[in-house]
Amino acid sequence: MMPRSELFKDMVADLRMAASFVTILPVASSKPAADGAVARATWALPVAGLLVGLAGAFVYKVAIRFGLTPNIAALLALATTALITGALHEDGLADTADGLGGGRTRERKLEIMRDSRIGTYGVCALILSFGLRWSALAAIADPLLVAFALCAAHAAARAGVPAFMSLVPPARPDGLSASAGSPPGRSVAIAFALGTLALALALGPGKALVGLILLSLAGLLLARLAVRQIGGQTGDILGAFEQIGEILILLVAASFRMGG
């Protein structure tokens, strides 16, 4: 059995790796990652997401405190989360929309997804993503409830990524997703449990169930689309999955809030 000190060190290392994987924060270890280390660390993605959500919630709270409207505060919160993540997931969403929407062949779709330029499909996808998330946060309005919604969305949206990586094969032998490897079952289970816990604590069990169902359906649909069109998943597909998850959870939070 692993000593507690070693277990703690491994957990901290995984948290740092997960945070460096989905944010631009300078938290990565200076030592090179061993084989499979990134895949094993994916259990901590919901925790990294929680930190991103908290940052957005803090900015929202400060903006409201200074007398800004919920509309402006929501936009500043989204800008903060995009800044912390380096717009990594937004970039993945845009590339996925351009590739799956604009290419005729598998090879052409993958080529488009690797192109740094953005096309019409990508622009439309980003407008929808920011528009829906902004509208949801502005509708929720109350800073505490916004904080719950942001934390739940960012944690839960990343909680399904390990399962997606494990169940859907990489579309190509190189790239971010392929180099990360397939997460082990334990990492998948822990990430799922953390995401579910975040949803339940932030939104309540009923709303959490709705969120889980929507996330699962979205994951299945995206996985089927990716496999049919490009043969599997890529880092861009994972980014798109995360963005869809954020949108769905924030919409669930906003709809229940507006419904009383």
Residue 186 CA to residue 81 CA, distance in Å, equals 28
Radius of gyration of the chain (CA): 18
- Token pair 């798109």 is found at 240
Residue 10 CA to residue 208 CA, distance in Å, equals 30
Domain that holds residue 164: 38-170+180-252
In a domain, 175, yes or no: no
Burial 85-122 (b: 16+ CB within 10 A, else e): bebbbbbbbbbbbbbbbbbeeeeebbebbeeeeebebb
Sequence length of the chain is: 260
Read off the amino acid at residue 199: L
pLDDT at 260: 43
- Can you give the pTM of this predicted structure? 0.91
Render 29-70 in DSSP notation, one character per residue: -SSPPPTTHHHHGGGGHHHHHHHHHHHHHHHHHHHHHTT--H
pLDDT at 176: 63
pLDDT at 157: 96
pLDDT at 11: 83
In a domain, 29, yes or no: no
In a domain, 221, yes or no: yes
In a domain, 9, yes or no: no
Q: Is the torsion defined by CA of 34, 35, 41, 42 positive or negative?
A: positive
Q: Which residues pair with 170 in a beta bridge?
A: 233
Residue 108 CA to residue 189 CA, distance in Å, equals 35
Read off the amino acid at residue 249: I
In a domain, 104, yes or no: yes
In a domain, 207, yes or no: yes
From the list 241, 245, 236, the residue with the least C-alpha distance to 95 is 236
Q: Is the torsion defined by CA of 224, 193, 191, 127 positive or negative?
A: positive
Q: Is the torsion defined by CA of 89, 93, 95, 99 positive or negative?
A: positive
Backbone angles phi, psi at 93, to 5 degrees: -65, -45
Per-residue confidence in pLDDT tens, the chain, 260 aa:
556 667 778 788 888 888 888 888 887 654 445 567 788 889 999 999 999 999 999 999 999 999 999 999 999 999 999 999 999 999 999 999 999 988 789 999 999 998 888 999 999 999 999 999 999 999 999 999 999 999 999 999 999 999 999 999 998 777 666 666 789 999 999 999 999 999 999 999 999 999 999 999 999 999 999 999 999 999 999 999 999 999 999 999 998 654 44
- Cβ pair 109, 103 in contact under 8 A: yes
Domains of the chain: total: 1
Calculate helix-pair angle for 45-65, 4-22, nearest 10 degrees: 60
In a domain, 194, yes or no: yes
In a domain, 17, yes or no: no
- Cβ pair 120, 162 in contact under 8 A: no
